[in-house]
Amino acid sequence: MTKEEMLPVLERIIADYGALNEPKYKHADIDLLKRDYELLMEMKEFLKEDRRHAHIVNAISQTIRKITAPKGNGKITVTERGINKAIPPVIRKKNQPVNFPFKWIDKKGNSCSVDVEHWGVWNYMVMDILGYYLLLKEGNNAVPKDPLPIFTDMNSIALREESGISKNNISLNLSPMNEQDIERIEQTRYWVQFDDKDFRKSTSLDMSSNEIMNLLHATSRAEFKLVFPVRMRDEKGLKEINYNMNYFSRLFEFGYVDKEKRIDGVVISRHYRVSFNTLMGELFAHNLLSQSYDWLDNRFYHLPYNAQVFYRRFLVNNDLEVISINAKTIAERLNLQDKNITNLAGTIETNILKPLIEQGLIDSYEKTKGGLFGLKYTIMRKKRGKPDDNNQQK
């Protein structure tokens, strides 16, 4: 095909793709898309200076990825609001050194710290899954219908924190548990057990046993000293009160037992026990048992990284149906480094807002320019209901 013959083909592909209804991944024929993509790849060397070619290649490749990406398995889980609100993503980016513990000042001027080199969507996901398992265990294989709080007031939390300093927490090495280890975990008040198959089903992610174990280990080693929002009941009802932690604490301790090995000794299946025997673990459990959580479909874990973090940091923690957020605030809280407002807007819309619309987590958005704080996004969503009780099973 000569360059002259390529141009009408390029125009035809652009026109066909533009004629697809939105969202395009739901209306496109994957076989036709792949055929057109192959044609575009054949033209690449000759049309590398044509911006239309680069744009349509990018658009079609993204649509193909959306069509062929895992779709989840319809399982639901929960996400605890306190962790989403209090713990920011911690990522070591190029030319941006991070000193540990990572420290920041919250919007009320309180000093917070996390001693971990990375905290991101995988770690948030671990806490979602563990929290859901805890609710099922406490509710005898169903999410409890009534609140079951652990703490009665701020003083009871402070007493627990002080007592935890002198009390030996479970400290397990990254090696299989023995019978004494298992007994120590099962003697704690709040603990759960599961295996690799359970975890894969809950996340709809195809992870190896080593990947699951290493992710649990990394999440369990993170240490926090935060101002943590705790749901409490008083004579007026349930309200959120901030507890200012005085000491670093982890979210949980865990151990495992090897269940199945290959002939070469590689472990392919493990059984895990997780104990929420720390202050952070009990605050996490308290909020869940006080019904401070939101529902998630496990398709959520297939969203782009920034879409997941945005949803956790801006949307999970309130029930407003219309939310206005400045682009500058989004960039700051998601650690987006692009100073070019056009590129930043493209990232926000393409990698965050549109994927959230496609999954039904928001309904629409509008953007306005100008004013004191520049570009602003107004997000609209309907009030979300609770999933069918028939799906509330591990």
How far is 38 from 322, CA to CA, in rounded Å? 42
- For residue 390, what pLDDT is reported? 38
How far is 240 from 237, CA to CA, in rounded Å? 10
Look at strands 102-105 and 111-115 and give their pairing: antiparallel
How far is 325 from 348, CA to CA, in rounded Å? 11
What angle is formed at CA 382 by the lines to CA 381 and CA 387, rounded to 5 degrees? Answer: 115
Tally of residues, the chain: 394
Q: Which two tokens stand for residue 151?
A: 């703490």
How far is 252 from 71, CA to CA, in rounded Å? 30
pLDDT tens-digit series, residues 344-370 = 898 999 999 999 998 889 999 999 886
Task: Provide the β-strand partners of residue 225.
Answer: 113
- DSSP annotation of 187 reads T
- For residue 117, what pLDDT is reported? 76
Residues of the chain scoring pLDDT < 50: 166-168, 389-391
How far is 260 from 195, CA to CA, in rounded Å? 11
Q: Are 127 and 284 in contact (CB under 8 A)?
A: yes
Q: For the chain, which residues make up each domain, given as ranges?
A: 3-68, 76-302, 322-390
Q: Which of 137, 352, 114 is nearest to 251 (CA)?
A: 114
Those residues whose C-beta lies under 8 Å from the C-beta of residue 267, and which sit 6 or more positions away, are: 209, 210, 258, 260, 261
How distant, in Å, are the alpha carbons of 40, 44, 192, 274 from that of 189?
A: 60, 62, 10, 11
- For residue 224, what pLDDT is reported? 92
- For residue 168, what pLDDT is reported? 44
pTM exceeding the 0.75 threshold for the entire prediction: yes
- For residue 370, what pLDDT is reported? 67
- For residue 91, what pLDDT is reported? 76
